[in-house]
């Protein structure tokens, strides 16, 4: 795991023991949900939620006037009443999910979410040992995190422009991502700046390093640029973004050497970083920001502040997320 995280930033995971029935139920329910009319899905619009959960229509995510991603999604998070745990103030990315009433949706999606949360805890243990830390080092930070599951649908449109990606080049905000795709299309940028395919491997999850693990590892692991090219067939993808608890201060772990130094990374609060990135991406939040209904957290970073940079990546970034 450590070698893959250092050399590529991506790896496959097999032998994960996630029941196949959970995966098949998730795929079937997701396909049926997105087959509904646009108006039916908009009844679950994410902009009407209190903790950023619900249906995301095509065009909702857009980066600095670039072309919107060619996808739609449904987003859910750690589903619980955070008021008792956080009585002092609201955490925007935590709280009860906005669940659709679509038959079977909550049961199937929640079962898969719980399985991914359990798998993420195993992977956190592996990354800790790979960094030379105690196996359960990260456990203190992952009791009720704003880890998000996205159900992403890429409709196939043979008439869409060849150069229009499903999702533009980006890094993920959190520690790492557990991805289940149904078809090829994912590409990753290697150390030479070249885009290479990440083909679907039956029974495997794809793992990629995100912004926060880059910081915590002191640059030993680098958040990896990836994108989804124009799809050649209808495609679904289920990324689970693995974060730390909302108020966790993300900073280089003391005693770790790395490619960088602690001076290269300023501390940031996990939930506030996620919220700031989300505000800068979603139309309904950007509108509220422009109208003065909300403000960016103090010290908020711009989009794509981590990972390798290149002129090509800068030109392609739309900061949608898979």
Separation between Cα atoms, residue 279 and residue 272, nearest integer Å: 10
Long-range interactions of 124-132: CB distance < 8 A, separation 24+: 124/175, 124/242, 126/1, 127/1, 127/2, 127/5, 127/175, 127/176, 127/213, 127/221, 130/1, 130/2, 130/5, 131/2, 131/217, 131/220, 131/253, 131/256, 132/256
Q: In this structure, how many other beta carbons lie within 10 angstroms of the beta carbon of residue 67?
A: 14
Ordered alpha helix ranges (H), the chain: 2-7, 20-34, 38-42, 105-130, 211-216, 270-279, 283-290, 311-316
Burial readout 213-232 (b: 16 or more C-beta within 10 A, e: otherwise): bbbbbbbbbbbbbbbbbbbe
pLDDT > 90: percent of the chain:
57
CA geometry: angle at 275 spanning 271 and 276, to 5°?
120
- What would the pLDDT profile of 171-198 be if each residue is shown by its tens digit? 888 999 999 999 887 888 876 778 888 8
Q: What is the mean pLDDT of the chain?
A: 86
Residue ranges per structural domain of the chain = 2-316
Containing 73, the helix (H) or strand (E) segment is strand 72-76
Could you tell me the CATH superfamily of domain 2-316? B-lactam Antibiotic, Isopenicillin N Synthase; Chain (2.60.120.330)
User: Euclidean distance between the first and final Cα of the chain, in Å?
Assistant: 21
Q: Tell me what pLDDT residue 167 has.
A: 64
Q: What is the average per-residue pLDDT within 17-46?
A: 97
DSSP 81: -
Confidence of residue 153 (pLDDT cuts 50, 70, 90): very high
Give me the percent of the chain exceeding a pLDDT of 70.
84
Show the tokens assigned to 135. Answer: 């196996």
Helix and strand numbers, DSSP H then E, in the chain:
8, 13
Q: What is the pLDDT of residue 231?
A: 62
pLDDT digits over 80-111, tens only? 887 777 778 888 899 999 999 999 999 999 99
Q: Residue 273 corresponds to which tokens in the numbers above?
A: 């970083």
- What pTM did the predictor assign? 0.89
Instruction: Inform me whether the pLDDT recorded for 48 exceeds 60.
Output: yes
**pLDDT by residue (tens digit) across 228-266?**
765 667 889 999 999 999 999 999 998 886 655 445 788
């Amino acid at each position: 795991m450590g070698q893959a995280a250092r050399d590529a930033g991506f790896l496959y995971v097999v032998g994960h023991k996630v029941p196949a029935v959970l995966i098949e139920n998730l795929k079937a329910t997701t396909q049926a949900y997105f087959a509904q009319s646009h108006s039916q899905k908009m009844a679950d619009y994410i902009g009407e939620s209190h903790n950023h959960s619900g249906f995301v229509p095509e065009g909702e995510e857009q980066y600095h006037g670039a072309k919107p991603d060619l996808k739609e999604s449904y987003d859910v998070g750690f589903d619980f009443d955070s008021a008792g745990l956080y009585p002092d103030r609201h955490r925007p990315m935590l709280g009860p999910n906005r669940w659709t009433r679509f038959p079977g949706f909550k049961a199937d999606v929640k079962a898969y979410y719980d399985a991914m949360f359990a798998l993420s805890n195993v992977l956190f243990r592996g990354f800790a040992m790979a960094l030379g830390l105690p196996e359960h080092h990260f456990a203190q930070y992952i009791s009720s995190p704003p880890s998000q599951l996205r159900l992403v649908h890429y409709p196939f449109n043979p008439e869409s422009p060849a150069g229009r990606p499903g999702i533009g080049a980006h890094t993920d905000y959190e520690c790492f991502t557990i991805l289940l795709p149904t078809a090829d299309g994912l590409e990753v940028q290697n150390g030479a700046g070249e885009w290479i395919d990440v083909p679907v491997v039956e029974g495997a999850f794809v793992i990629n390093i995100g912004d926060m693990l880059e910081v915590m590892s002191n640059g030993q692991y680098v958040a990896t640029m990836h994108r989804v090219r124009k799809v050649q067939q209808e495609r679904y993808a289920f990324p689970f973004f693995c974060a730390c608890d909302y108020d966790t201060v993300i900073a280089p772990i003391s005693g770790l050497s790395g490619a960088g130094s602690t001076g290269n990374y300023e501390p940031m609060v996990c939930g506030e970083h996620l919220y700031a990135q989300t505000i800068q991406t979603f139309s309904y939040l950007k509108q509220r920001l422009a109208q003065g209904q909300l403000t960016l957290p103090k010290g908020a970073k711009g989009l794509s502040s981590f990972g390798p940079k290149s002129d090509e990546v800068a030109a392609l970034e739309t900061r949608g997320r898979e």
